[in-house]
Every structure is written in structure tokens, then in C-alpha cells.
Chain A
Amino acid sequence: MRFDYAPAPESRSIVTLRDSYGLFIGGEFVDGSSAFKTISPATEEVLAEVTHAGPEDVDRAVAAARQAYERIWSVMPGRERGKYLFRIARLIQERSRELAVLETMDNGKPIRESRDVDIPLAAAHFFYHAGWADKLGYAGFGPSPRPLGVVGQVIPWNFPLLMLAWKIAPALACGNTVVLKPAETTPLTALLFAEICQQADLPPGVVNIVTGDGSTGQALVSHPGIDKVAFTGSTEVGKEIARVCAVSGKRVTLELGGKAANVIFDDAPVDQAVEGIVNGIFFNQGHVCCAGSRLLVQESVADEVLSSLKRRMATLRLGDPLDKNTDVGAINSRAQLDKITDLVSSGDDEGALRWSAPCPLPDRGFWFAPTVFTGVSQAHRIAREEIFGPVLSVLTFRTPAEAVEKANNTPYGLSAGVWTEKGSLILWMASRLRAGVVWANTFNRFDPSSPFGGYKESGFGREGGRHGLEAYLDVLGGGDV
């Protein structure tokens, strides 16, 4: 019998959208110079008008952050800072449905993911770092490590609130103040977070949020009043930021692109490995820097794994991101859809074999069906360049050594996955894979206590865990003893 699921949309009524949003500077929403619109990528409907922060707006934000740093935040005892962070964490939990719906509207990701992954993890990051605020002397960086000052943070559109949490929570816990620029296409949850800061009575200027495009980000990272830059985004922009910071002496951490290998051995738990492949590349439409975009499967089980994968992909439910049963949502923007389409046609041109899940695409909005390429060689663009979309390239290998060689044969090194029932092989692989995170028999699992970051062109610095604190403390200067 055919069992279709009736539409089960999450209600939008919990979200109150304003017509326009100002910049969050010094604890208040203020007007800026010009404005732009943010849309829902699933429907192309305009959601709100958002302020574009120019250089003078960034100036104001940095000045507010400097003042808050010097007068309040850097001199406040850690246990007091911790209280604010705990309060913010609880408010994120209390307003989690509102945040999840808004995230899904602005980003296009399925509500199941924003509800079950993004928002709970964002709250978890604040809880985790709240606990560190009064224990920094025990983090291994000296008895009294000092903050760095004012931090400029630029975050991407793939996990808007979660990336904000990854950036703001450790910065604040360590005693820094921040000016954060959310991505141009997904500013709304950051602005709702600004309201949460007000609700938590966070001292004005500790968190400042400036919306805008790349030029705003550029003004922020090159601003002389910034002590440290933290960036998550494309490798191309990351390199530019590294150049800017190198000449100004600013501290910098970069979390950039990836082309992760997900390695399936012939003794892998096949059903869970297939789930791991699906989760690795189709989670968040593949808009994941650590996505398992290269599947390396042992030749002896390649046919079996691929047929299981295609059968599983045929059950993926693509459509309205607000529907609670949607597995694959909308591509975040027209520009990203164009980039995916371009790389996919290069795969066709270079002779790889394309197969897409047979799911109908909605008429409006930006969509791309989950796609897998077989017959891919290391030389193909789709095996080398980050697609940042729901497109998987499948390569095969014969021996563990060949798997390591192929997995490492990329300029990136953010993450990798290993699937085998053999524990010793997991450890053997993990010690040879040049990637910041190696998942064993799972993929795309995150926890605030686990450091995350890349090798090579995937960036430097770690976020999360004790290691992540280092990026926001003056560990080089030695602190005052």
C-alpha cells in the first residue's frame, strides 16, 4: 500500500518579523546608511529589510565594543560573565522554536535540522562556555590568562545561529567583546539573538551585530580597532583575510572549506554507513564545510554500497523546509545554485556518470536534487573543488594505504570519516588522515567539548573544547602571573 505523508508544516506564527532591522550597536538597534532585502530561498519571498553597515557603522560598532571591553567585560569576574552566558543559553532554549522557524525561513534548511541540530547545539555551546568563564585558570594557559580585546567575527550562511554561537560563546567566556557580521543572505537569527542579548541584560557593547555584504566584512576585519579576527567561510575569502591580518599583526583563526573523504571499508556496517553517507553529504543540502563530499568505497563492496545508497536516496523527501517531514530543503541562494549547477555540468563534461534522486523540485525557490557521481577520478573538478551542495563524488580504492593516499590528496583537510567494524583499522586510518576531525562509524557529529578545525587550506585554529579557548586568550603574551 502507498503511504503518503500529508503536509505537516511547522507554524510560522511563532515568529514576529519586523519590516526592517537596524544594526545592533551598543545594546540598541540603530539606523545605518543603506538597506538590503533578505529572502526565503524556498519561495523567493522577501522576509525583511536589513541594514547594510558601511565603514562608519563598523567604526561605531568597534568603538562600542572597545568601550564595553575596557570598562565592563574585561574587568568583570569570570563567574559574573558566566551568569550572562548561562542566561543567554537558557533564553536560546526557551525561544528555540522561534529561532528554528526563523532559521528555516531565512536559510532554507529543513525545520527538522534547525529544530534538532542547529538550535540545540547553539544553546549547548553557550552552556559549555558559560562553564569555562570562571575556570580559565585551569585551562592550561597559565593561572590567569587574559582576553585579547575586541574580536571581529565573520560567519557564513550555512549554520547562521550555530556559527554565531561557535564564535560568540568562547569569545565572551574568555572576556572579549565582539563585533559580528552575519552572512548577507541569513542575517535574521543573528538579529533575533541581539534581542536575546537585550533580554539577558547583557551589558551594552559586549555583543554588536553589523549586517551587510562582503564589503562590511572587509571593513570589519581590516579595522584597526580589532585585536583578533575569526572567520568561517570560503577558502578564497579566508586567504584574503589572512593577507590583511598578516600585515596588521592581528590574531586570526580561519575555518574554511573542505572536500572530506568518507571512507567505507568492505567490513563496514552497511546500513549505518549508507545513513552516514547520506548524512555526510545531504545534511543541510551539502552546505557543510566538513561535508563528506568524496565517498571512497572499497572496490569489493562498491556495487552493493552504491545500490543501497541509491535506494536510500530515493526515499529522501525534498521540499518545503518548514514541513516537519522534509529531509532536504532549499539551496541557500541563486548564486550558490549557479555554482553547484556549474560544477555538476563540469562533472558531466569530464565524463563522470550522474544519478539524481527522482524527487520533483518545487517551481519557485532554489532547489537541487540529491545527486551522486560515479566513475569519478581524482583529476575531475568534482573530486577536487568544494561544491557546497548536495552532490556526492564516488571514488573507489583497493587497500587501506590507497584510501589514505586518496583521502589526503586534496588541498583541504577539515574532516574525514572511516567506516569499518575493525577498531585497529580505525586507529590506523585516524593517525594517517590529515584532517582536523576524523569520525569513526558516524559523520557530521558535533559537540561543544570537541575541538573543530582544519589542516592545510581548511584553515587554522580550533573551535570548541579546551583547544578552542586558546583562540580567544592571550596565551602568547603570557598573561599576568
Chain B
Amino acid sequence: MSHNGWMETGVAQSDASLRRFLHGLPGVDEVGARARADVLASRSIKTDSKRQAIDLAISMIDLTTLEGQDTPGKVRALCGKARQPGYGAPPVAAVCVYPDLVPVAVAAVAGTGIHVASVATSFPSGRAALEVKLADVKSAVAAGADEVDMVIDRGAFLSGRYLLVYDEIVAVKASCGDAHLKVILETGELSTYDNVRRASWLAMLAGADFIKTSTGKVTPAATLPVTLVMLEAVRDFAAAGGRRIGVKPAGGIRTAKDAIRYLVLVNETAGEPWLDPALFRIGASSLLNDLLMQRARMATGRYSGPDYMTVD
């Protein structure tokens, strides 16, 4: 079965056929989705389950630096932190950098099992010609990135040119080779949960391995209700005979408490199979130190303070 074979027939032939499919998905009631996210956010995760959740969250982090001022030195330091977060914590899942810094990251995490993710497709706006975007992807993959985080064309999506968005994802996927493809929906620009659900399905149909909330460059970035809607989408996609697609909230997740709330959401929405770095990632930079601080507190009973956490 090809990645999109189970419903390839008919759906992705035109904007109209895609619209019929995407707009035929059950709607999302905004008030209800927020209320559900609020209830799950009020779960109280203590003692052993908190310990377990902290280590799981660390192992799911895509440790990220995406700044114009990034340098090889900065990326090497980030990779050092990724390999060895400190305090006996497990390594993170991946580092996430711009394409030109992929070679530095690949060298720095070689042999560790840590993945190298590269943003591509004219991140973060995605406003470039398709061939430029594909060249961006190919250069990242050629440099050794084994995960590619692409952005969708939000302008096309919002104006109903679904086939264009679909075709771009298909083309990027083809350019990825063996690299895993994460499709960034930039939910902060999609404005409704109905759009989040439709964009999720569009990306999954087109061959995404992961659907990701945000670039981190737009406010709001990841939120619990948006992630809830995306987790429902991957759950329903799998239940309808599709593959298991991963979910990655990114941006704005800074505290251990936040991260644990996301894990609760995964646990009670998509369920146990998704409690795995292969199917759930958290895109973050400062989150790691808060998780480490909580981890140290649980081990020693004391808060050690931010000065004891390395800043890389």
C-alpha cells in the first residue's frame, strides 16, 4: 500500500474533490474542544507518574535552534546538550536546525541515535517557488538530515487551493528520500479548529509522517486544543485504515507542567501507541532545562535553580 493508497481514488483530483472530502469531515465545536482540553489540563500527575512523564517528555524533544544568529558553535553546543542533557537524563529525540547547519549537527550527534531534523521549504513563511523549496529540502537531506520539517502554503490553503497544498506536500515527500517528513500546518494562521482538522487530513493524505503545529515564529504557536484536534485526526486516520501519523506541537511549550499536559492529552486521545518518540515529539528549546530541574527536584527533593542547568 502506498502512503496514501487507501483513499487515493478520487479525493486528490481537484480543489473541488478535496474540498468535498475535507469539508465533509465532522466539524469541531470550538467551545467543546477547549473545554475538553481544559479538563485534561487539570489532571494531576504526581510522584512516579510525574517521574515517568518527565523522562518520556525529554526523550520526545526536538531540541531546536532556529535563529538568524545561529552559528556552527551554537549548534555544536546544542548537540552536546542533546546528547547529554545532564543529571542522568535520557538523550532527546532530535536536534532541529536550519538546512545550512545540518552538516554541523550531523557530525556532532554521529553515532548517538539522535536524529537531525532540518526545517526546509523556505521556512518559516513558505513563500518561494516550488523548485526553490524542493532544492531546500534536497540540500538538507543531502547534508544528512533524516527528518524534514516543511511548512504548508497557508495562503493557498486559506483560499481553498487545496490541490496546490497537497501537490506540494507530495513533491516534498518525494524529495525527502528516506527522511521522515513533518508537515507544519502553522495553526496560528489557520484561525479555526475546522481548518486545523482539514489541514491535518490534507497533510496525512499527501504523505506526511508527522503533522506539526507551528514554526514557532507565529503567535499563537502550539496550544492544547489545537493539539487535541490534531491528535483526534491521527487517531481517526489510523482507525480508518491509514498509517499511524505522528504529532508535534512546537513553540511556546516551556515548562515541565506544560509538557506533561501534552502527554496527558496524547494518553487520553490517541492513546498508548502515540506515547513514543516515533509518534510524538515536542519542538522546544528552553523546555529541556525546566524538565531537568523538575527531574533533579524529584531525585533530590530540592530545587537546584536555573544556575545549575547548563545553557547551551
A325 to B32, CA, bound (A): 20
Q: Which of A112, A116, A267, A315 contacts B268 (CB 8 A)?
A: A315
Q: Which of B26, B32, B275 contacts A275 (CB 8 A)?
A: B32
A315 to B56, CA, bound (A): 21
Cβ of A269 within 8 Å of any chain B Cβ, yes or no, is yes
Cβ of B267 within 8 Å of any chain A Cβ, yes or no, is yes
Question: Which chain B residues in 27-60 approach chain A with CB under 8 Å?
Answer: 27-29, 31-33, 35-36, 39, 42-50, 52-53, 56
Q: Which of A1, A268, A442 contacts B272 (CB 8 A)?
A: A1
Stretch with Cβ within 8 A of B (4 or more), from A3-11, A69-77, A99-107, A124-132: A3-11
Interface size (B, Cβ < 8 Å)? 30
Given A1-B272, A3-B267, decide whether A116 and B26 contact each other with a Cβ distance below 8 A: no
Given A116-B42, A325-B43, decide whether A269 and B32 contact each other with a Cβ distance below 8 A: yes
A421 to B30, CA, bound (A): 12
Cβ of B276 within 8 Å of any chain A Cβ, yes or no, is yes
Residues of B within 8 A of A4 (CB): 49
Question: B268 near A8 (CB under 8 angstroms)?
Answer: no
Interface size (A, Cβ < 8 Å)? 24
Q: Which of B36, B42, B267 contacts A272 (CB 8 A)?
A: B36
Question: Which chain A residues in 1-54 approach chain B with CB under 8 Å?
Answer: 1-8
Question: Which chain A residues in 387-414 approach chain B with CB under 8 Å?
Answer: none
A-B contact count (CB 8 A): 72
Cβ of A329 within 8 Å of any chain B Cβ, yes or no, is no
Given A268-B26, A271-B232, decide whether A6 and B33 contact each other with a Cβ distance below 8 A: no
Given A3-B52, A3-B53, decide whether A441 and B29 contact each other with a Cβ distance below 8 A: yes
Q: Nearest chain A CB to B306's CB is how many angstroms away?
A: 27
A421 to B39, CA, bound (A): 23
Question: B28 near A269 (CB under 8 angstroms)?
Answer: yes
Residues of B within 8 A of A270 (CB): 26
Cβ of A276 within 8 Å of any chain B Cβ, yes or no, is yes
Q: Which residue of B lies closest to A279 (CB)?
A: B35
Cβ of A380 within 8 Å of any chain B Cβ, yes or no, is no
Residues of A within 8 A of B35 (CB): 275
A268 to B25, CA, bound (A): 10
Question: A442 near B49 (CB under 8 angstroms)?
Answer: no
Cβ of A456 within 8 Å of any chain B Cβ, yes or no, is no
Residues of B within 8 A of A1 (CB): 56, 272, 275-276
Q: Nearest chain A CB to B282's CB is how many angstroms away?
A: 15
Cβ of B263 within 8 Å of any chain A Cβ, yes or no, is yes
Q: Nearest chain B CB to A273's CB is how many angstroms away?
A: 8
Q: Which of A267, A276, A324 contacts B32 (CB 8 A)?
A: A276
Q: Mark A288-329, 1 if CB is under 8 A from B, else 0.
A: 000000000000000000000000000100000000110000
Q: Which of B31, B43, B45, B49 contacts A441 (CB 8 A)?
A: B31
A8 to B46, CA, bound (A): 7
Q: Nearest chain B CB to A420's CB is how many angstroms away?
A: 9
A84 to B6, CA, bound (A): 66
Q: Nearest chain B CB to A272's CB is how many angstroms away?
A: 3
Q: Which of A2, A6, A315, A441 contacts B48 (CB 8 A)?
A: A6
A268 to B264, CA, bound (A): 26
Question: A272 near B44 (CB under 8 angstroms)?
Answer: no
Question: Which chain B residues in 136-182 approach chain A with CB under 8 Å?
Answer: none
Question: Which chain A residues in 354-397 approach chain B with CB under 8 Å?
Answer: none
Q: Nearest chain A CB to B227's CB is how many angstroms away?
A: 13
Question: B272 near A272 (CB under 8 angstroms)?
Answer: no
Question: A324 near B44 (CB under 8 angstroms)?
Answer: yes
Residues of B within 8 A of A324 (CB): 42-44
Question: B32 near A442 (CB under 8 angstroms)?
Answer: yes
A8 to B268, CA, bound (A): 17
Residues of B within 8 A of A325 (CB): 43-44
Question: B31 near A6 (CB under 8 angstroms)?
Answer: no
Residues of A within 8 A of B29 (CB): 269, 272, 441-442
A1 to B59, CA, bound (A): 12
Question: B26 near A271 (CB under 8 angstroms)?
Answer: yes
Taking each of A5, A7, A325, which has the highest tally of chain B beta carbons within 10 Å of its own beta carbon? A5
A3 to B48, CA, bound (A): 10
Given A3-B56, A270-B26, decide whether A442 and B276 contact each other with a Cβ distance below 8 A: no
Question: Which chain B residues in 255-274 approach chain A with CB under 8 Å?
Answer: 263-264, 267-268, 272
Q: Which of A2, A6, A267, A275 contacts B46 (CB 8 A)?
A: A6
Q: Which residue of A lies closest to B26 (CB)?
A: A270
Q: Which residue of B lies closest to A1 (CB)?
A: B275
Question: Which chain A residues in 423-443 approach chain B with CB under 8 Å?
Answer: 441-442
A269 to B267, CA, bound (A): 22
Taking each of A4, A112, A325, which has the highest tally of chain B beta carbons within 10 Å of its own beta carbon? A325
For this complex, 19 residue pairs linking A to B, each with C-beta atoms less than 8 Å apart, are: A3-B264, A3-B267, A4-B49, A5-B43, A6-B45, A6-B46, A6-B47, A6-B48, A6-B49, A112-B42, A269-B27, A269-B28, A271-B36, A272-B28, A272-B31, A272-B32, A276-B32, A324-B43, A442-B31
8 interchain residue pairs of minimum CB distance = A272-B32, A8-B44, A272-B29, A324-B44, A270-B26, A269-B29, A1-B275, A6-B49
